Structure 1
């Protein structure tokens, strides 16, 4: 078994690569390093710097690979609203490159990251894999297309594909330094700089926060499984931003200022996953409670 992880130097990818390498699995990483950090990877891991839009780089990285985990993507909803063409080029055309190369190389298994963003403003809760898809951003649309691409490669070309719909992933190693960062790393970064925390909207919007180590375990299970289709990867618990703020207040010893700004276009009001299918097919069981995950970030 030899695993290629695209985007393996990124936030989720680096946690997965460490998990695989520590388990004695032969791992190769393909990453452009636009956002990733090569320094955090285990020394035993083979690294190739390259872009998934470059078909030659992808073909080179795919040599002798049996299993692929495709994580490389532009993941910012907000940036996709202002630059949808770049999002489409990386997420759609880049994924087609990786799928085609996987098919041509005779790879056995293709695990890819999709997103809870595909559900958009579909009102029913919790979100099930069978829920209607109502994407609200170019990023979300790109993930819907990824699911269609991968399903077609499974049905038409016989490539065993499985998509994992990640909800709001958080944990150590996630950047909070840029204006489009996810809410948890952004807030933690502001606290450590003794700056104010900004809430877009009234704070009643909810998310399903899942720890990155639980996500890495889910990806590992998907690699080892023969299940196909798409599966939610989440905690199965709904947390409002106001609830998140209360957790931080209870764990953080200093006072801090809170600012409210207008809600952003493309942001989803409520989100929580039904993870019963992931439990059934992948034996997925999230283990890290958000209070413990936040405490780990605050003391890091």
Structure 2
């Protein structure tokens, strides 16, 4: 089997490519910049015949493109939405016209379900409350619509909140926290009381995505740890070892703030067997111990 990874140099793409190497799976990537000779340096911002020809040579395509972040919608929501729609239009057209057998799209399990009163499963209604989450849901709908008459098998991986990519330390709550501590920079965080997130280590995320890509299963799958962790508990762990560098500010919940993100991994486990993932609290403790040992 051969796999092409779109966004291969990004936060998620790097982890997926490492997992493909570990499994000995033939792969190439497409991204706007990279030092890896296996990654074609091409932007996916516009339709490109060169990309189409590349995709035709692969059995499967994984879309890990993540050019937009939630903060982009806070700064300029109209521009962010327009760019996001343009990107998914280009990618969906390329996938349809390349006629690849398999397409795995990485979506956002951290936002598409909205507020979670219980562990959200794939059969639950999507109910995004932020514009970033709405775009991720729109992307899913565009792909389902564009591929409905295609022979391409579509899987949508709703990834929770990934962490642990040591090469991209400016992405996500956990990695930013660890990076600040390593650099001896004070860390100030703002979240609502009771805030919880399902965190998944980058290696576990990549393993689940590659499991999905090399399977015959289509449809939506949560890619997550299946455990929701309190942000206050993470802060408490840090405060015990670094009491002078952490500042926590409780904020009122806005219309676009998710307090609790809680996902079920029952569907994935039923298809692939029970998945054991890295515990985010244990990971954080190990990172803090390593930082203290270097002092």
> What is the TM-score when the length of structure 2 is the normalising length?
0.88
> Which shifted more, 181-190 or 65-74?
181-190
- Residue 49 (structure 1) aligned with residue 41 (structure 2): yes
Question: What is the CA RMSD across the aligned residues, in angstroms?
Answer: 2.3
Q: Deviations over 1:11-69 (max 9, x none)?
A: 11111111112322221111123xxxx34x5xxx5111122222115324324121100
Name structure 2 gaps, 5 residues minimum. none
Corresponding residue number in structure 2 for 1:276: 266
Between the aligned partners of 1:202 and 1:106, the Cα distance in structure 2 is 46
* 1:263 Cα deviation from its structure 2 partner: 5.0
Corresponding residue number in structure 2 for 1:159: 152
Q: Deviations over 1:66-87 (max 9, x none)?
A: 1100010234212222223443
Q: Please state whether the residue corresponding to 2:210 is helix, strand or coil.
A: helix
Corresponding residue number in structure 2 for 1:120: 114
- Residue 204 (structure 1) aligned with residue 198 (structure 2): no
* 1:296 Cα deviation from its structure 2 partner: 4.8
Give runs of aligned pairs for residues 129-168 of structure 1, distance below 5 A: 129-168=122-161
8 Å Cα contact 1:115/1:166 also seen in 2: yes
Give runs of aligned pairs for residues 60-75 of structure 1, distance below 5 A: 60-75=53-68
Alignment: residue pair count: 287
Distance 1:272 1:194, change over 3 A: same
Between the aligned partners of 1:284 and 1:54, the Cα distance in structure 2 is 40
Name structure 1 gaps, 5 residues minimum. none
Q: Please state whether the residue corresponding to 2:5 is helix, strand or coil.
A: strand
> Which shifted more, 183-192 or 54-63?
54-63
* 1:115 Cα deviation from its structure 2 partner: 0.6
Corresponding residue number in structure 2 for 1:169: 162
* 1:137 Cα deviation from its structure 2 partner: 2.0
Distance 1:75 1:127, change over 3 A: farther
- Tell me which of 250, 264, 267 is aligned to 2:257: 267
- Tell me which of 73, 88, 91 is aligned to 1:80: 73
> What is the TM-score when the length of structure 1 is the normalising length?
0.86
* 1:264 Cα deviation from its structure 2 partner: 7.0
